[in-house]
Every structure is written in C-alpha cells, then in structure tokens.
Amino acid sequence: MRIDLLTLFPRMVEGFFSESILGRAVTSRLLEIHVHDIRQWSQDKHRRVDDTPFGGGAGMLMAPQPLFDAIETVRTPHSKTIYLCPDGEPLTNPLAKELSEEKHLILLSGHYEGIDQRVRDQLVDREVSIGDYVLTNGTLAAAVLIDCLARQIPGVLGEENSLTGDSFTNNFLAFPQYTRPADFRGLPVPPVLLSGDHAAIAKWRREQQIEKTRQRRPDLFSKNNQS
Ligand code: ADE
C-alpha cells in the first residue's frame, strides 16, 4: 500500500514514520509513505498557500490552486483522497480496516480555518475526523490515521501484538494486564492470573471488560446489549 501525505509541516511526522512498528512496516515494504510539503505547489512568489474567506470571518483558508495541483500531481486512477478535518466522519477501527485495503491513499491535512470548499467537492473522496476536538492542523490527525490503518495491514503486527485483544474488538474495552513481578511494592497481581486456570482467567477478563466498558463507555455498552 502507498500513502502520500500532503501537509504544510512535513517535519512534524517524518520521525514518527521511521519508529517502531510503523518504521518496520516501511522498511519491510508493507507500506510506502511519501510526505510532501504543499508549499512546493504554490505559485505565489512568497510561497503563500492561504487567503481570507469570501463573505468575511476570522482566520485564513487554504486556497484551491496549490491543493488542486498537489492532488493532481500525486493521484493515480486507483487513489482515494482523504481530507482530515474535525467535521469528517469519526475514525474507528472498522474504518481504518476498510482504508487499509486501498492500494493508494492521498491524505490531505488542512491548516488555518480549513480549505476552500471546491477542493472538498471536486477532489476529496472521504473526510475523516480523529475525534471531537480541534487540532491546530491536520498533520497529527493524518499520522494517527496512518498508524491506525497500518496495524490492520496483514503482516504489520507480529504474533505478539495481535489485534484480537484490542479495545473496541466486539465493542468492549480491553481488560487489565500485568507482568512480572507478581508482587511489586506490595501491589499484588490478581491471583486468578497466576492460577493457571484458563477458563477462570477468561471469565475474569470478560468480567473486567464488561465492567470497564459499562463505566467508561455507556455508548459502547448499550450497543452490546442491543445486539
Ligand atoms: N484537524 C483539526 N482537528 C482535527 C480532528 N479532530 N480530526 C482530523 N483533522 C483535524
């Protein structure tokens, strides 16, 4: 899979893509990531990419020309273009899975008060938000999306990091986990985990998931009870 990230701040994420599991996915060619500075497509003599909104209002907008040129340069007949913005559809594991099956994604991260609507109407296939809060720009949001979809690509996670125990699998949050020592500063591990009784462990973990989900995420909890 290939991802082209269009941003005004390439240096915000360059280190991110070379670390840890994502870095390994890139080196083993399961994932190809190209980060582009949108300013290279500006035709303005000061390399400006923003302008004031028609109709007035605070802030600046990213102008259409650099974005049209950028997307038209990197896209192919198989590309899907995604704009990261707070008013997009919420990012979830199922959405990340769906996007991980694409051959080529173009991720566009906005800045200022957003981008000219004509870019969204003409060139963007999908708009994605990483949560109900507003970041100063969409670059970190794009990095989050890439991280989340990369772990859905077969081979990216090793056996030791499988997807099955994740939070949100079957609409439950993850159960608590412990490692050695069994007693740390007088804080013991729940005895059932040391019992070797696999059925009892599975039951305890299930109960923990249910209780944690009920307390923290009543919205997820009620989905489970409906199905
Ligand atoms: N850009 C600014 N805030 C964002 C958010 N919450 N999700 C995606 N892109 C954004």
Q: Identify the pLDDT of residue 165.
A: 72
CATH no. of 166-226 = 1.10.1270.20
**What pLDDT score does 160 carry?**
53
Q: Pick the catalytic residue: 51, 102, 113, 127?
A: 113
Distance 133 CA to ligand 1 centre (A): 7
Q: In the annotation, is 166 catalytic? A: yes
∠ CA(120), CA(92), CA(122), 5° rounding? 10
Peptide linkage before 188 cis (omega within 30 of 0) = no
**CB 133 less than 6 A from any atom of ligand 1:** yes
Indicate which residue's Cα is closest to atom 10 of ligand 1: 85
86 catalytically annotated: yes
Q: Which among 92, 135, 136 is the best mutation to test ligand 1's pocket, defined by most ligand atoms within 8 Å of the CB?
A: 135
Cα of 134 vs centre of ligand 1, distance in Å, is 5
The pLDDT score that the predictor gives to residue 206 is: 97
The reply to whether 151 belongs to the active site is: yes
- CATH 3.40.1280.10 in the chain is located at 2-150
* Cα-to-centroid distance, 205 and ligand 1 (Å): 34
Residue 101's pLDDT is: 98
Ligand 1, atom 7, lies closest to the CA of 129
Q: Which two tokens stand for residue 80?
A: 């899907």
Tell me the pLDDT tens digit for each residue of 56-79.
Answer: 999 999 999 999 999 999 999 999
Q: What is the CA radius of gyration of the chain?
A: 22
Residue-wise pLDDT tens for the chain (227 aa)? 999 999 999 999 989 999 999 999 999 999 999 999 999 999 999 999 999 999 999 999 999 999 999 999 999 999 999 999 999 999 999 999 999 999 999 999 999 889 999 999 999 999 999 999 999 999 999 999 999 999 999 999 986 567 777 888 789 999 999 999 999 999 999 999 999 999 999 999 999 999 999 999 999 999 887 75
What's the N-to-C CA distance of the chain in angstroms? 34
The ligand 1 atom nearest the CA atom of 85: 9
DSSP state of 166: S
93 and 168 Cβ atoms separated by less than 8 Å: yes
In the chain, ranges of CATH 1.10.1270.20 domains? 166-226
Q: How far is the CA of 15 from the centre of ligand 1 (A)?
A: 20
**Alpha helices per DSSP H over the chain:** 20-27, 64-74, 93-100, 117-123, 139-150, 198-216, 218-226
Q: What is the whole-number distance in angstroms between the Cα of residue 191 and the centre of ligand 1?
A: 43
The finding on whether 135 has its CB within 6 A of some atom of ligand 1 is yes
CATH number for the region 2-150 comes to 3.40.1280.10
Q: Give the global pTM.
A: 0.94
| Known active-site residue 47 | no
